[in-house]
Chains A and B, each alone.
Chain A
Amino acid sequence: MELATQLAAIVAPVFICAGIGLAWARVGAVFDARVVTSLVYNVGAPCLILATFAKVKLSTAALAEMTIAGLLCYAIFATIAWSVLKASRLSIPAYMPSLMFPLTGAMGLPVCYFAFGNEGLALALVYFTLGTIGTFTVGAAIAAGRVTLGFLVKQPAIYAVAFAVIMIETDATMPTWFVNTTTLLGGIVIPAQLIALGVSLAALRVASLRRSVALSLLRLSMGFAVGWAIGEALALSALPRAIVLLQSAMPVAISNYLFAQLYNCEPVEVAGMVLISTTISFFMLPFLLIMVL
C-alpha cells in the first residue's frame, strides 16, 4: 500500500498532465505547439537548468560521472541501433534517431523529480541536456544526411549549461532574485512539455503497426538493458544508477518526429513509434519505478 501511494505520487502527474493535453486536443481548444515549444526551449529549459543547479550543489565528480554515463549510453544506443537497422535493411536516417534519443525531457524529468526530488532532477537534467545536444546535432544530421550545427548555436540550453558548470566549479551561491526568477520560469517546462506531449499524441496515427511495435520494443528494452549495464559497469551509487536507468528506458522522444517531418524521413512511421512506445511506457513505468525505488 505504501509503495502504491508512492508510485501514484510519481506516475499520476505524468498521466494527468499528458491526459489534459489529450483532452485539450480532443475538445478542439486552441493549442499553438510552436509557441509552447518556443517558450519551453528558449525560456523554460535554460531557467530550469539554472534554477536546479543553483539549488542543488552537485560536485564536479558527480557531474563528470553522470556526463560519462550519459555519453556511454547514447554511444551504445547508436551502435546497437545502427547494427539492427543495417541487419534488417531499414532506413537509418528514418529510424536511428528515434532509437537513440529517448523522451528524457517531458517524461524523464518529472519522473526523476517526483521519485528523487531536486537531487534526482539535477542528475536527470545532465542526461537530458546531453540528449538535447545530441538530438540537435547527431540526430538532426542523421535525419538530414548532413551535419548542421546551426540548431545547436541557437539553443539557449547550451549557454545555461555552460553557466551552470561555472556555478558548480566556482561553488557560487546565487542571489535570491536569480533563484526566484529562474525557478518561476523553469516551472513552465514540465507541465507545458507534458501537455504538449498529450496534444501531439492525440494527433499522431500509427501507419504500420507491426514495425512500430517492433521498433518501440527495441527502444524500450535496449534502453532498459543499456541503462542497467552502464550502472553496473561504472559501479554507480544508488541515485545516479536509478537516474541512468530511468532516463535510458524512456520511450521515443517527440523531437525525433519533428526532425523526421522537417527532413521528410518517414514521419508517419516515426509518429507510430512515438505513440506506441509512449503507450507501452505508461504501462511499464510503475514496474520500472519499483525496480529503482
Chain B
Amino acid sequence: MLADIAAVIAPIFICAGIGFAWGRANAPFNTEMVTNLALNLGVPCLIFSTLTKLEVPPEAFATVAGAYVAVVAANFAIGFVALRLAGLEWNAFLPPLVFANNGNMGLPLCLFAFGDQGLAFAISVFVISSVGTFTIGLSTFAGSFAPKVLLKNPLLYVVALALVFMIGAFKPPAWLANTTAIVGGLGIPMMLISLGVAMSRIKVASLKRSLALSLLRLGMGLALGIVIAWAFGLTGVARGVIILQAAMPTAVNNYLFAQRYDRRPGEVAGMVVISTAISFATLPILLWFVLQG
C-alpha cells in the first residue's frame, strides 16, 4: 500500500517541487508560454489520446460528468449559504470554494492512482469543471455573464471530436494517435511545473480567513464527493475519481480571475496556496482511503 501511494504522490510532489525550486531560484520561466503549451496544446492532445485509446463506454463517461455537475451544484449552494452567514463577499470567495484544481493536480493524481481508465474519468470531471470555471466562475468574479471565453478554449472542440470516436467506437489512424500521444506528454508535467512556479510566486494575505476557507473547500469537497458518488451508485474507479477530484484544493485559475477583476486577490491567493499545501500534506491519507475501495 505504501509503495502504491508513493507511486501516485511522488510524480506530483517532484514535478511541482521542480517548479517551486525553479521559481525560488528565479530561473527564467515564461508562464504565458508554458501555460499555452500545456493548456492549448498538451492537454487537448492528452484528452484526445486518452479518450480514443481506451474502450471507455460513453455512458460511463457521461455518468461521471453528471455526478460532477451535482458536486459543483452542491458546492455552489453550500458555499453561497456559508459565505452569506459569515457575511463574506460571495463575488470573491464563491468560485474558489466551488472550483477545485481538477486539471493540474486532479489529472495526474487520477492517472497514477487508477491508470488510463482513471485519467479518462478525471478528464470528464475536468471538462465540467473547466466549463463551470469559464462560465459561472468567471461571471461571478466579473459580475456579468460572458460565455465567449469558453468558445476560445480548445477543450470543448477536442472533447466533441473524441466523443465522435468514442460513440462511433472507431480508432483514430496510427499517425494521429502517435502525434496526439507524444504532444499530450507535454500536458501534465508542464501543468505541474507551472503549479509549482505559481506556488513559489503567490503572496499570501490574511492567513486566518484563507485558512478557514481552505478548510471549508477541502472538507466540503471530500464530503460531497463521498455522498454524491454514493447517491449516483458509483463504484471502483469512477467512485475513486469523483472523491479525489471533489477533494482537490482551490484551482489556480480562481486567483488569476480574482486578480483580473480585483476581487480580494490577496485572500484568494491565500486560499490557493494554503489549500494546496494542506492537500499535499493530507494526500497520502486521502489516497489510502480511496484506494481501499
A62 at the interface (CB under 8 A from B): no
Residues of A within 8 A of B (CB): 5-6, 8-13, 16-17, 20, 29-32, 34-36, 38-39, 43, 110, 114, 175-178, 180-181, 184-185, 187-188, 190-192, 195
Name the distance in Å between A282's Cβ and chain B's nearest Cβ.
Answer: 15
Indicate which residue in A6, A30, A190 contacts B185 across the interface (CB closer than 8 Å).
A190
* Cβ–Cβ contact B28 & A32, under 8 A: yes
Are A180 and B7 within 8 A (Cβ)?
Answer: yes
| B183/A17 in contact, CB under 8 A | yes
Residue ID in chain A nearest B188 by CB atoms: A184
Q: Is the CB of B7 within 8 A of A176?
A: yes
- In Å, the complex CA distance between A29 and B40 comes to 12
Are A5 and B173 CB-contacts (below 8 A) given A32-B28, A188-B189, A190-B182? yes
Q: Mostly helix, strand, loop or mixed at chain B's interface?
A: helix
Give the residues in chain A near B34, CB-CB below 8 Å: 35
Compute how far the CA of A176 lies from the CA of B10 in the bound complex, rounded to whole angstroms. 9
Query: Judging by beta carbons under 8 Å apart, are B112 and A191 in contact?
Result: no
CA A43 – CA B192 in complex, angstroms?
A: 13
Interface contacts (Cβ under 8 Å), in number, total 106
Is B27's CB under 8 angstroms from A184's CB?
Answer: no
User: B85 at the A/B interface (Cβ < 8 Å)?
Assistant: no
Q: Specify the chain B residue showing the minimal Cβ separation from A10.
A: B178
Bound Cα distance from A190 to B112, whole angstroms: 22
Known: A176-B3, A184-B189. A32 touches B30 (CB 8 A): yes
Q: Quick one: closest B residue to A114, CB to CB?
A: B178
Residues of B within 8 A of A185 (CB): 14-15, 18, 189
Contact yes or no, B32 A30, CB < 8 A: yes
Would you give the 0/1 interface string for B161-186, flagging 1 where the beta carbon is closer than 8 Å to chain A? 00000000000011111110011011
Knowing A35-B33, A180-B7, A188-B189 are in contact, say whether A13-B175 is a contact too (CB < 8 A): yes
Residues of B within 8 A of A38 (CB): 27-28
- Chain B contacts of A187 at CB under 8 A? 185-186, 188-189
The answer to whether A192 touches B186, judged by C-beta atoms less than 8 angstroms apart, is yes
18 CB-based A-B contacts, threshold 8 Å:
A6-B174, A9-B173, A10-B178, A12-B175, A13-B175, A13-B178, A13-B179, A20-B183, A29-B33, A32-B28, A35-B30, A177-B3, A177-B9, A177-B10, A180-B7, A180-B112, A190-B185, A192-B186
Which residues from chain A contact B23 at a C-beta distance below 8 Å?
none
Q: Check if A191 sits within 8 Å of B185, measured CB to CB.
A: yes
CB atoms of B174 and A32 under 8 A apart? no
A184 touches B11 (CB 8 A): yes
Contact with A along B15-39 (1 / 0, CB 8 A): 1001000000001111011101100
**What would 8 more interface pairs be, CB under 8 Å, given A31-B33, A180-B10, A190-B182?**
A9-B175, A20-B41, A20-B183, A175-B6, A177-B10, A180-B112, A185-B18, A191-B183
Chain B residues with CB below 8 A from A16, complex form? 179, 183
B36 near A29 with CB under 8 A, answer yes
Could you tell me the distance between the alpha carbons of A39 and B37 in the complex, rounded to whole angstroms?
13
Bound: A6/B30 CA distance, A = 37
**Interface: B193 (CB within 8 A):** yes
* CB atoms of A188 and B112 under 8 A apart: no
B108 and A17: CB pair below 8 A?
no
